[in-house]
Amino acid sequence: MGTPWIIRFLGGKATMFILLSILLIGLIILVYSKVDFIFYPIKVFFSTVVLPIILATIAYYLLRPILRFLERLKIPRVWGIFIIFIGLIGLLTLLVFLVFPFLKGQFSNLIEEFPTYFKQMLINIDSFLRTSIFSSYYLEMDININKFLDNGLGNIGQFFADTVGGIASGITSFISALTGFVLAIITVPFILFYLLKDGDKLPIMIKRMLPPRLRDDAEDIMKDADHQISAYIQGQILVAICIGIMVSIGFLIIGMKYALLLGALAMFTSVVPYLGPIIAITPAAIIAIVASPFMLVKLAVVWTIVQFVEGKFISPQIMGKSLHVHPITIIFVLLTAGSLFGVVGVVLGIPGYALLKVVFTHMFDLLKLRYDKHEPDPTMHYENPEEKY
């Protein structure tokens, strides 16, 4: 008997095999979803080890160039690692005893004064709108800012206190999360030590575990993934430091209050593309509006210069175009990762996407090669199967 027409219509037995495989995968997922309690210990294990592994990996890629430099100076790897650890301890000690107390004092003062700044900003905006070209439209809205402040925002300090009290009601979960974070910080140095010591051997071990037919492709994927992670982490940290320094210097020049604290905020938030600068500029803009309109103009000038220098000179020189990610794609990745994983997703979404892109790019290249191998018509081949997209 010949092959049934429905199978020929669907593309043959290979297509039926693919459809049956998809159905089998769906059934497996359904069964696992019904017995997910079996995998709870595995879930707890991964949720416990993910944070220290991520922190240690970031530190590894930041410190690996220093370790390789020390090795070029004929210093043994283990001794180089101890030198790096001693340097890190000294740097952290300097930050804890000199920088952290100063920033902590500025942060406490800013939190205490911020409700006043916010209320004064609303009053200034109200005064401006009442005397601007939009005054007729604004007056028709009949907005009484003083009544609004008395009723809605008359006691912002109490609002913050109530918020803190609400957070304090969940003190048990907070202590649990804090304990996990502290344990992760304690674990990081040990993971980091072994990553610096044996990190270069890990790809070789993984390659040996794979079948010989897959080893060359796996080696290419691991090399590209290593390059992507290294370029992103090292570049993003250097760019963030440059932004923090430029913002601090610029704010000091124009006489902005809390200049160093706002510079540090800009440095930490700049690791998040597009969203970071908006978060950093908001408190600075509120302080500038309260200070004077001219201060707001000076703030705009400083911020424009910083963004121009960072976009045209610093980022292209430090990071180049290593990720090859379109800005629209970055925005979608940030929104999706933030919705799924919160702050962690926003921070790690872009490098995670870059890694997935490396894997799927190589898989697509292999698919093109396989297609050309089985396509008898040369005119229907891909133009350049080896091209990396």
Instruction: Say whether pLDDT at 370 is over 80.
Output: no
- Greater confidence (175 vs 224) lies with 224
Sequence-distant (≥ 6) Cβ neighbours of residue 256 within 8 angstroms: 262, 284, 287, 288, 291, 295, 298, 299
Q: What is the pLDDT of residues 56-106, one digit of tens each?
A: 888 898 899 999 999 999 899 999 999 999 999 998 888 878 777 877 777
Q: How far is CA 321 from CA 253, 317, 342, 363, 379, in A?
A: 32, 9, 27, 22, 33
Instruction: Say whether pLDDT at 188 is over 90.
Output: no
CA distance linking residue 84 with residue 192, whole number of Å: 11
Average pLDDT, the chain: 77
Q: What is the pLDDT of residues 311-325, one digit of tens each?
A: 787 777 665 555 666
- Greater confidence (222 vs 380) lies with 222
Instruction: Say whether pLDDT at 158 is over 60.
Output: no
CA distance linking residue 188 with residue 186, whole number of Å: 6
Q: What is the pLDDT of residues 6-41, one digit of tens each?
A: 555 555 566 667 778 788 888 888 887 777 777 777
- Greater confidence (147 vs 138) lies with 138
> The whole model's pTM is what?
0.69
CA distance linking residue 265 with residue 247, whole number of Å: 10
Query: Would you give the DSSP letter of residue 37?
Result: G
Per-residue pLDDT, averaged over 275-293, amounts to 82
Q: What is the pLDDT of residue 181?
A: 61
